[in-house]
Amino acid sequence: MNDNTPSANSAVSCLVQVSPEPAGQFTAQLLGLPELRATATTREEAVEQLRWLLREQVHAGLLLSVEIPRENPLMSMFGFGKDDPDFEGYLEEIRRFREEMDRQGEQGSETGECSDICSTPTT
């Protein structure tokens, strides 16, 4: 079995449009393939006939199931700085900033005062 064919036990979903016909019948049509349609006296029968037509198309190899993986758009931003020559300097600046914030926090706790970044007033 190739990678484009679902396994025998897997289900594939398709969008089907069911429209009432003037003669009291219903037409089921696969969205995107107007040539695949079935008309019957009930909605359910029209859908079942279309399902049969779809199975025939799949078994004949005329239609394949293709998996389209979902991609997180944020993933494209990861690693953006790996080739930036200034990236190591950027990381060093972050490290120094954090150390300074830690020192200010320690000094403020020793004197009983809040640091510049603390929004809680002390009395």
Residue 22 belongs to some domain of the structure? yes
pLDDT by residue (tens digit) across 8-18? 556 778 889 99
**Mean predicted confidence (pLDDT) in 30-39:** 90
Residue 39 belongs to some domain of the structure? yes
pTM exceeding 0.75:
no
Domain coverage including residue 49: 16-59
**pLDDT of residue 118 exceeding 60:** no
> Do 20 and 55 lie in a common domain?
yes
**Mean predicted confidence (pLDDT) in 84-92:** 88
Number of folded domains that form the chain: 2
> Do 88 and 54 lie in a common domain?
no
Contact (Cβ atoms closer than 8 angstroms) between residue 6 and residue 65: yes
Contact (Cβ atoms closer than 8 angstroms) between residue 46 and residue 26: yes
Residue 69 belongs to some domain of the structure? no
